[in-house]
Amino acid sequence: MLTRAVNDGIAYHTDAELLGESGIRIAFSERYGGVSSAPYDTLNLAAHVGDEDAAVNENRRRFMSALGAGAYADRLVTAEQIHGASIVRVLGEDAGRGARAGELQPPIPGTDAIWTTEPVTPLMLFFADCVPVVIACVSTRAIAVVHAGWRGAYAGIVGATVRAMRAELGDVELTAYVGSHIGSCCYEVGPALVSQFASMFVTIPRASDHLDLGAVVAEDLDRAGISRERQWHLEICTAHNTNRFYSYRAESRAGRHCAFAMLEPQP
């Protein structure tokens, strides 16, 4: 279950029970408690949006410290998100790729889904309206972080990540967490695109010009074998709540909040 926590002035959504049971630390950040100036104010965690590298690095440091993962900040793994459908398994040797903005080790190129079974190798992806998804396996201790915009959602990147994990872990039980993203209330995309989704996803009504990305992701997870009972959705619209989250559609130039997951050294 996702609950909101505030630590050192930084708000995030996490599952404390999951952490206690299995040493799997997950979090979705909000936007305050950092050092970035407008329009990135203040906890922008992404390096690619035009913010100052030093501010991004300080924000990442603060966020990971607030979570209790500050000791592993140098092992953070990020990815160059391209709205594609590629999935990468992160290995021990990948620790630190894209950990810091503006420094030598670049993020993992061209991927929107990363997963790992490596302890203390934190995964982080960045969002402003797109759907953040974290997947966790308690029995085998595995985690995934997925970025699903409409292209990725349409391509089924979330379900594909579940299948990629199961291909290597076996038929394990997985839990999915879906963070804040743009709601159908604010996501007007036109009837042609909605109709395209409706022919792929039964939960999407054909006659609409607003798209419900949360419903698409829920159905994709369900089809991949993570039933609704094992899905936790924050159900907060980013565009409606720019006081707490970044919204590309509402703000145009904006920072990015994150989805985060890490395996503690021990369960």
Q: What residue ranges bind Zn ion (CB under 5 A)?
A: 183, 185-186, 237, 239-240
Query: How many of the other CB atoms lie within 10 Å of CB of 208?
Result: 17
Compare residues 15 and 212 and give the one whose CB is closer to Zn ion: 212
CB of residue 254 vs Zn ion: minimum separation in angstroms?
Answer: 15
CB of residue 97 vs Zn ion: minimum separation in angstroms?
Answer: 34
> CA-CA distance, 132 to 258, in Å (whole number)?
8
Q: Tokens standing for 159? A: 């379900």
Compare residues 81 and 247 and give the one whose CB is closer to Zn ion: 247
Query: How many of the other CB atoms lie within 10 Å of CB of 158?
Result: 30
Q: In whole angstroms, what separates CA 215 from the centre of its chain? A: 16
CB of residue 59 vs Zn ion: minimum separation in angstroms?
Answer: 25
Locus of tokens 């590309």: 248
CB of residue 185 vs Zn ion: minimum separation in angstroms?
Answer: 4
Burial of 183 (0-12, 13-18, 19+ CB in 10 A): buried
> CA-CA distance, 92 to 74, in Å (whole number)?
13
List of residues 6+ apart from 251 with CB closer than 8 A? 39, 128, 242
Beta bridge partners of 7: 10
CB of residue 182 vs Zn ion: minimum separation in angstroms?
Answer: 7
- Please name which of 44, 91, 99 lies closest in space to residue 70, comparing C-alpha atoms: 99
List of residues 6+ apart from 19 with CB closer than 8 A? 25, 26, 264
CB of residue 178 vs Zn ion: minimum separation in angstroms?
Answer: 15
Compare residues 31 and 97 and give the one whose CB is closer to Zn ion: 31
Compare residues 187 and 260 and give the one whose CB is closer to Zn ion: 187
Q: Is the peptide bond before 39 cis (omega within 30 degrees of 0)?
A: yes
Compare residues 123 and 204 and give the one whose CB is closer to Zn ion: 204
Compare residues 174 and 239 and give the one whose CB is closer to Zn ion: 239
The SS3 of residue 243 is coil
CB of residue 237 vs Zn ion: minimum separation in angstroms?
Answer: 3
Compare residues 99 and 250 and give the one whose CB is closer to Zn ion: 250
